Amino acid sequence: MLYHRRPSWRLPESAATPEHMFWNRRAFLTGAAGIAGATIASPFAATAQEAAKSAYVPGAPFAPKPALNPAYADAGRAVTDEGVSSTYNNFYEFASHKRIYRAAQRLDTSGWKIEIDGKVEKPFEIGFEDLMSKVSLEERVIRHRCVEAWSMVTPWIGFKLSDLVALAKPLSSAKYVQFKTFFNPKVAPGQREPWYSWPYTEGMTIEEAANELSFMVVGAYGKVLPKQFGAPVRLHLPWKYGFKSIKSIVKISFVEKQPVSFWERAQAREYGFWANVNPKVSHPRWSQATEEVLGGGGKRIPTQLFNGYAEQVAHLYSGMEAKVGDRLWR
Ligand code: MTE
């Protein structure tokens, strides 16, 4: 589906344009005016963060709480305040702004099932509870870098995606894994917006899926995963821009061809398949050299190659830049 823009006369631009595109457009305009070093405007002012944080009500504890993986006990930065990260979310199914946490509570996660199909020994459907009994849960403190140039550190609870791949028993012809979010425009009003191609999908190679960093998240901050974070189960790929970390997954397909993802379909030039974090390769409309620390009062820090996880993942891409060029970083 083509990317359509709503006529600008109907609403102010900030309301008519997905928020990150709005901010990015501002950055573009600032840059066009010739101001050196223009960056995206602070996406969520410190005072608004504080107000949202104090209104936040945390959910049920994750019991029993899985052990912390010592390899990921410290992300090298302070953990983002739970009230801040839980009230500042990208979940376009509910709206194209960040304050969706109340709206997301309408998502009914009871009886959640995940369908596994494609190039596997035998396609099947598995209930969320059943899946929980078949995987090894652990806690990890992990960095997250959004393509919009903000970042956070969250203590996730979850399991390695490779546990799920093992359950799926893919055939040797399976080269990629495709993920799909639920589709229910009755509870998710964003899915009524015609300028996106719903449901949200994402994809990765089978080698990336086998990497120890590829994590299926079912909890955060010692609690059952809040709906705004993508309950009951979402992916987290910390070395890639955040849009790859698809939420509220209902289907996982093992496929032969590289799948086209939600954002790639909307804006292929800007949001690609690989989307590995690289401070040296700018987004077409803004720099990726630094990032704003969520809850940090506007503080910016340098962005790291692969978001600081090069040791675990750089080998996956050796020699690839010559083949795909800058697409590796977008
Ligand atoms: N998954 C779905 N289904 N819908 C979305 O809009 N947004 C992505 C990603 N996964 C998104 C999604 C983007 S752009 C980011 S940065 C992260 O989720 C944000 O995750 P968070 O809200 O937990 O911080």
Residue pLDDT, tens place only, 303-329 = 999 999 999 999 999 999 999 999 999
Is the minimum distance from the CB of 245 to ligand 1 under 6 angstroms?
A: yes
DSSP letter assigned to residue 91: B
Residue nearest to atom 11 of ligand 1 (CA): 91
Contact 158, 188 (CB under 8 A): no
Check residue 40 and give its pLDDT.
Answer: 46
- CATH number at 240 reads 3.90.420.10
CA dist 215 and 160 (Å) reads 5
User: Residue written as tokens 């209902």?
Assistant: 250
pLDDT band at 53 (very low <50, low <70, confident <90, very high): confident
Measured from the Cα of 228, ligand 1's closest atom is: 22
What is the extent of the structural domain holding 76? Answer: 48-276+305-329
Contact 309, 145 (CB under 8 A): no
In this predicted structure, the answer to whether residue 55 has a pLDDT above a threshold of 90 is no
CA dist 241 and 137 (Å) reads 24
Least confident among 18-27, 41-50, 166-175, 281-290:
18-27
Phi, psi of 316 (to 5 degrees): -65, -20
CA distances from 261 to 36, 208, 274, 275 (A): 33, 16, 10, 11
Burial of 298 (0-12, 13-18, 19+ CB in 10 A): exposed
CA dist 38 and 33 (Å) reads 10
Give residue 294's identity as a one-letter amino acid code.
L
In a domain, 183, yes or no: yes
In a domain, 299, yes or no: no
For the chain, what is the radius of gyration of the CA atoms? 19
Most informative mutation of 223, 245, 261, 270 for ligand 1 (most atoms within 8 A of CB): 245
Measured from the Cα of 242, ligand 1's closest atom is: 16
Judge if the upstream peptide bond of residue 189 is cis by omega within 30 degrees of 0.
no
* pTM of the complete model: 0.89
Contact 158, 218 (CB under 8 A): yes
pLDDT band at 7 (very low <50, low <70, confident <90, very high): very low
Residue pLDDT, tens place only, 227-238 = 999 999 999 999
Number of domains in the chain: 1
Residue pLDDT, tens place only, 71-123 = 999 999 999 999 999 999 999 999 999 999 999 999 999 999 999 999 999 99
pLDDT band at 48 (very low <50, low <70, confident <90, very high): confident
In a domain, 199, yes or no: yes
Residue nearest to atom 10 of ligand 1 (CA): 246
Check residue 20 and give its pLDDT.
Answer: 45
Q: Of all residues in the chain, what percent carry a pLDDT higher than 70?
A: 86
In a domain, 233, yes or no: yes
Q: Mean pLDDT in the chain?
A: 88
In a domain, 133, yes or no: yes
In a domain, 173, yes or no: yes
Measured from the Cα of 199, ligand 1's closest atom is: 3
Check residue 42 and give its pLDDT.
Answer: 54
In a domain, 292, yes or no: no
Handedness of CA 202, 204, 210, 214 (dihedral sign): negative
In degrees, rounded to 5, the angle at the alpha carbon of residue 200 between the alpha carbons of residues 17 and 218 is: 115
Structure token pair of residue 329: 């970083």
Three-state helix/strand/coil letters over 93-161: CCECCCCCCCHHHHCCCCCCEEEEEECECCCEEEEHHHHHHHCCCEEEEEEEECCCCEEEEEEEEEEEH
Least confident among 43-52, 179-188, 190-199:
43-52
In this predicted structure, the answer to whether residue 293 has a pLDDT above a threshold of 60 is yes
* End-to-end Cα distance, the chain: 20
Q: How far is the CA of 242 from the centre of ligand 1 (A)?
A: 6
DSSP strands (E only) in the chain: 113-118, 124-127, 138-145, 150-160, 176-181, 201-205, 215-220, 223-224, 234-236, 249-255, 290-293, 300-302
In a domain, 177, yes or no: yes
Q: How far is the CA of 243 from the centre of ligand 1 (A)?
A: 5
In this predicted structure, the answer to whether residue 137 has a pLDDT above a threshold of 70 is yes
